Structure 1
Amino acid sequence: MGRGDGARRRAAPGRAGTRGLVRLVAAGVALATAAVLPGGAALASGTPGYAFAGDAVPVEGANDPADAVALEPGAVHRSSLSPGGPVHYRVDLDAASTAYVSVTAVPAPGAEVAAADGIRVSLQDAAGGSCSSGSATFGAARSPRPVTALVQREISSGRTRCQDAGTYRLVVERSRTPDAPSDSWDLELTTTTEPPLRKDGATGTPGAWDSSSPEPLSGEPVNRPGGAGFAEAAPLGQGVWRDGLRPGQTLFYAVPLDWGRRLSATAELDGTDGRSGFATNALRLALHDPVRGEADAAARSYAGRRISVALAALPPVDHANRRAGGRTAGAMRVAGRYYLVVHLAAQVAEDFGEGPFTVTLRVRVDGAARSGPDYAGEPVPPGAFEVSAGDGPTAAGAAGSGGGAVMRAVAAGGFATGTALLLVLGVWTVVARRGGGARTTRHG
């Protein structure tokens, strides 16, 4: 969406015309606030919710493992989770492919959560033996946001458990069940399979790489609205990008990384004008791999002055990274769409207002692209571990105004006069920019 509406100049309205114009602006703003976002996420108290995949298949988790419904590889599923106990799903796997199952839990905007709240996920064989487990919590900010846990069944000559074809169990439960609030959380689940290599051990061990963090990119930021979920993550390439972020809101961006390519990223939050206060772990930046596993995350507290948070140094994408020690390096194991996820804690509104606040992403992609490993088959879904020309940002998208989901809500509501748009943009520019810093917390 461009900055101007291209409307022809008209004679200045009289007093009655001015009142009508004010009513028109108010109606447009109300329409933008009430609009429904892609994927069914609605604006609630000014904070956009999560955008689920439009083609997500609804499934119901079973209390009894015998009643579990199968998750189809390559598909996105939508379900729900109450605090009452674990729910079960079924995953049918062959004896050759490595499988990844991600679970994203989404509390309602404004939901009450504690630092230890979150989800626990485990993948088990038919006998109940554990193949993999994962967890995700909301952390010290106690801000409701989408949290994602990943489990996997990896085929390897050095493993004995979970190597057979058959039915596997996916178990999902809340981290804090005894005194958790009674509201249910929505779930988004994905299953991705990776074929084996034609020659076992063909990629060897990870090579040496420069573990120093590159300098963040400089330059003027380009407005780039973020998506409200993995399914509508806005594509990004190397560059400096900007959007507006409200307390409690989460933005999703997708960065295509080919084999041999390396990513570094920082997120900056502008300061406020004349307000004081403190919000713990207010700005959070996370990186998720193409199967949605969290590779790295860091957060920084906010006291009204400009802050910056950066990802840890990451190795180039390499199939051999799965043999590296540590979660972060191990996650950089496949090419594809990596996700930068930015969250502004809901408690920021208590001292600094509802925003939106200007957030700037500085994204660097370096390293020489190379051919990938020799797979003996295709992943599911097809192309999951490939980068195509269409994965980068478009010129039209990069020129779009900030505000992410709010801007898309205006468009969805059909308010085309441009008056409300200019009003909203004017409000956003009130936020002042100052230097400063606060403490950083590294997650994972």
Structure 2
Amino acid sequence: MDRSLGALTRLAAALAGLVLAAAGAPAAAADDPGPALAGTPVTGTPTEARAPALATGRYLDRLPARGSLHYRLPRTATGSTFHVAVMFVGSGGSVGEGVRVQVGTTPGDQGCGSGGVFRPTVGEPAPVLFTGLTTWTDVEDHPCAVATELYLSVGEPDEDADAGRPMEILVYEEPPLSAYGLDLLPTPEPVPWTAQRPARRPRDVPAGTTPTNAPVVGDGTYALTLRPGRTRVLAVPLDWDQTLQAQLDTRLPAGVPTPEGIAVDVVSPLLGTSERPFTADRPADWRVPGTDGGRLRTGAQSQVVSYANRNSYDASITTEALAGIHYVLVRWTGTGNAAGPDVPATLTLRTTGVPGDGVPSYTPVDGLIGPQPASRLVDGTLQAPVATAPERAPRTDDDPLLSRRTLVAGGGVAALLLVVLLGRARRHSRNHPHAGAARPLSHHERGGRHRG
């Protein structure tokens, strides 16, 4: 739940975020809007003293120059799970940029979760870098699940040029399950890759440059322009028990830099990996040409959105899936030549599955709302469930209350009809003095899992 102060506050925060992003990011070409960040301004502290409290929402701060920045995560309800992500736009051209993020029950501790990003960005003028973590545990009385407050810290970047650059902090507090019992919710099987035929007339939707400004789309084929060193992002809603396939198709001209650096990734609402690995069984229809150019097809297949896949203990499954807006990132990395040619491409998106046995049941808590497919979870789009009135048992003909109501209703209708008819009779008598009195009328009225 985004605890904002209204539309004006959100607009002011967004404008402030864009100003910070523009101040910290390198200049972009006129036809490329450049990466965008946004959020409610916040200032982390170098020590735990007076560290600001972060509720569910999107925040904007700057990476520390030295040491770590500290924040507090006040817990709304025992058993809730915090999902945290940090995203920034790096300075680029580094052999390895990144930061480390951790959460614990005491300041500076990482016992409740940690994450880090470290990626070479040679040839990328403005790499989009992010990492995330979750505090989830299946031990009901674990300190990370019951502590009234947890502590978040963001470490200094590995690349000195990134110090002081704007960073987004995403926080989502997920309600507790109605009961602990992970065996009650099924662990879904990965969905196999299915080759798609791109539409002959792809939709032209301007792609985002970060998850923050990615447009929300549905199934279909979309036109993209691949540019070396740049990131293109589309957003797709996914519900529980659903999965997403993203297929990229293009034809590369001869002489393009490092075509193997073109990659597609699917990440969850809190920027966690949600992808089926294809290292050993790469789909047969995928093709990556050499520098002599030719047809390219690659893609990504997300894991099924399920409670079991929110934070898997299985090392072969890389996923942090929650229902909500997922992001498809198309990147051309490792080029060493950001001035390479623009290449037209298509991205075909396909969702599968419908919500079923894998939908978790959450404990109702004031101030906490479970994940929803059309929400980014951190920007105020979460909506409180609509309360439904309890169903009443159907009445029967021998119900005394029903019989009394029927008699009253029938009597009222009969009286109304009698008044209308008598009025007509009087008017008729006035208009026709010799007409006889109205004959009495007879009237008959029918009464009528986790998983909890």
Task: Look up the SS of the partner of 1:320 in the other structure.
Answer: helix
| Counterpart residue identity of residue 298, structure 2 | V
CA distance in 1: counterparts of 2:49 and 2:61, whole angstroms: 18
Aligned mate of 1:344, from 324, 332, 335: 332
The alpha-carbon distance between structure 1 residues 280 and 67, as it changes in their structure 2 partners (threshold 3 A), is: farther
CA distance in 2: counterparts of 1:142 and 1:90, whole angstroms: 37
CA distance in 2: counterparts of 1:91 and 1:136, whole angstroms: 22
The alpha-carbon distance between structure 1 residues 260 and 211, as it changes in their structure 2 partners (threshold 3 A), is: closer
Q: CA deviation at 1:81?
A: 1.0
Aligned mate of 2:189, from 201, 209, 215: 209
Query: CA contact under 8 A between 1:268 and 1:309: conserved in structure 2?
Result: yes
Aligned to 2:40: 57
CA distance in 2: counterparts of 1:263 and 1:130, whole angstroms: 32
- Give the TM-score, by structure 1 length: 0.67
Query: CA contact under 8 A between 2:209 and 2:232: conserved in structure 1?
Result: yes
Aligned to 1:113: 94
Aligned mate of 1:361, from 338, 347, 363: 347
Query: CA contact under 8 A between 1:98 and 1:196: conserved in structure 2?
Result: yes
Runs of 4 or more consecutive aligned structure 1 residues displaced over 6 Å after TM superposition:
297-302
CA distance in 2: counterparts of 1:378 and 1:334, whole angstroms: 19
CA distance in 2: counterparts of 1:370 and 1:139, whole angstroms: 41
| Counterpart residue identity of residue 291, structure 1 | L
Give 1:43-82 correspondences, 5 Å limit.
Answer: 44-46=28-30, 47-53=32-38, 56-71=39-54, 73-82=55-64
1:200 matches 2:180: yes
Query: CA contact under 8 A between 2:190 and 2:304: conserved in structure 1?
Result: no
| Counterpart residue identity of residue 148, structure 1 | F
CA distance in 2: counterparts of 1:129 and 1:383, whole angstroms: 25
Query: CA contact under 8 A between 1:247 and 1:356: conserved in structure 2?
Result: yes
Q: Which runs of 5+ in 2 are unaligned?
A: 1-14, 280-287, 376-452
Aligned to 1:421: none
Query: CA contact under 8 A between 2:222 and 2:347: conserved in structure 1?
Result: yes
Task: Look up the SS of the partner of 2:145 in the other structure.
Answer: coil
1:169 matches 2:146: no
Q: CA deviation at 1:293?
A: 1.5
The alpha-carbon distance between structure 1 residues 217 and 238, as it changes in their structure 2 partners (threshold 3 A), is: farther
1:126 matches 2:106: yes
| Counterpart residue identity of residue 56, structure 2 | G
CA distance in 2: counterparts of 1:377 and 1:298, whole angstroms: 39
What root-mean-square deviation, in Å, do the aligned CA atoms of Structure 1 and Structure 2 show?
Answer: 3.4
Q: CA deviation at 1:124?
A: 1.4
Cα displacement string for residues 60-111 of structure 1 (whole angstroms, at most 9, x for unaligned residues): 222222242222x222110111443322222212422111111102225xx3
| Counterpart residue identity of residue 290, structure 1 | P
Aligned to 1:320: 308
Q: Percent of counterpart pairs with the same letter?
A: 24
Q: CA deviation at 1:328?
A: 7.8
| Counterpart residue identity of residue 308, structure 1 | R
Query: CA contact under 8 A between 1:240 and 1:361: conserved in structure 2?
Result: yes
Aligned to 1:385: 372
Aligned mate of 2:266, from 282, 287, 290: 287
Query: CA contact under 8 A between 2:228 and 2:332: conserved in structure 1?
Result: yes
Q: CA deviation at 1:292?
A: 2.1
Higher strand content, 1 or 2:
1
Which 10-residue stretch deviates more, 366-375 or 199-208? 199-208
| Counterpart residue identity of residue 129, structure 2 | V
1:103 matches 2:86: yes
| Counterpart residue identity of residue 128, structure 2 | P
Which one scores higher on RCO, CA 8 angstroms, separation ≥ 6? 1
CA distance in 2: counterparts of 1:315 and 1:294, whole angstroms: 9
Which 10-residue stretch deviates more, 148-157 or 188-197? 148-157
Cα displacement string for residues 155-208 of structure 1 (whole angstroms, at most 9, x for unaligned residues): 53366342233332211124526xx33653210011101111222216635445
Q: CA deviation at 1:320?
A: 2.7
| Counterpart residue identity of residue 66, structure 1 | A
Aligned to 1:407: none
The alpha-carbon distance between structure 1 residues 140 and 246, as it changes in their structure 2 partners (threshold 3 A), is: closer
| Counterpart residue identity of residue 101, structure 1 | V
Aligned to 1:154: 136
1:310 matches 2:299: yes
Aligned to 1:247: 228
Q: CA deviation at 1:263?
A: 1.3
1:91 matches 2:76: no
The alpha-carbon distance between structure 1 residues 290 and 91, as it changes in their structure 2 partners (threshold 3 A), is: same
CA distance in 2: counterparts of 1:381 and 1:292, whole angstroms: 20
Query: CA contact under 8 A between 1:118 and 1:175: conserved in structure 2?
Result: yes
Aligned to 1:186: 166
CA distance in 2: counterparts of 1:290 and 1:87, whole angstroms: 23
Q: CA deviation at 1:324?
A: 4.2
Whichever of the two has the greater Rg, that structure is 2
| Counterpart residue identity of residue 282, structure 1 | G
CA distance in 2: counterparts of 1:380 and 1:328, whole angstroms: 35
Q: CA deviation at 1:260?
A: 1.8
Query: CA contact under 8 A between 1:194 and 1:379: conserved in structure 2?
Result: no
Q: CA deviation at 1:282?
A: 2.6
- Give the TM-score, by structure 2 length: 0.66
The alpha-carbon distance between structure 1 residues 138 and 301, as it changes in their structure 2 partners (threshold 3 A), is: farther
| Counterpart residue identity of residue 51, structure 1 | A
CA distance in 2: counterparts of 1:213 and 1:325, whole angstroms: 23
| Counterpart residue identity of residue 307, structure 1 | L
Q: CA deviation at 1:133?
A: 0.6
Task: Look up the SS of the partner of 1:187 in the other structure.
Answer: strand
Query: CA contact under 8 A between 2:191 and 2:304: conserved in structure 1?
Result: no
Q: CA deviation at 1:377?
A: 2.4
The alpha-carbon distance between structure 1 residues 122 and 142, as it changes in their structure 2 partners (threshold 3 A), is: farther
Q: Which runs of 5+ in 1 are unaligned?
A: 1-35, 389-444
| Counterpart residue identity of residue 362, structure 2 | Y
Query: CA contact under 8 A between 2:274 and 2:321: conserved in structure 1?
Result: no
| Counterpart residue identity of residue 146, structure 1 | V
Task: Look up the SS of the partner of 1:156 in the other structure.
Answer: coil
The alpha-carbon distance between structure 1 residues 235 and 382, as it changes in their structure 2 partners (threshold 3 A), is: same
Aligned to 2:362: 375
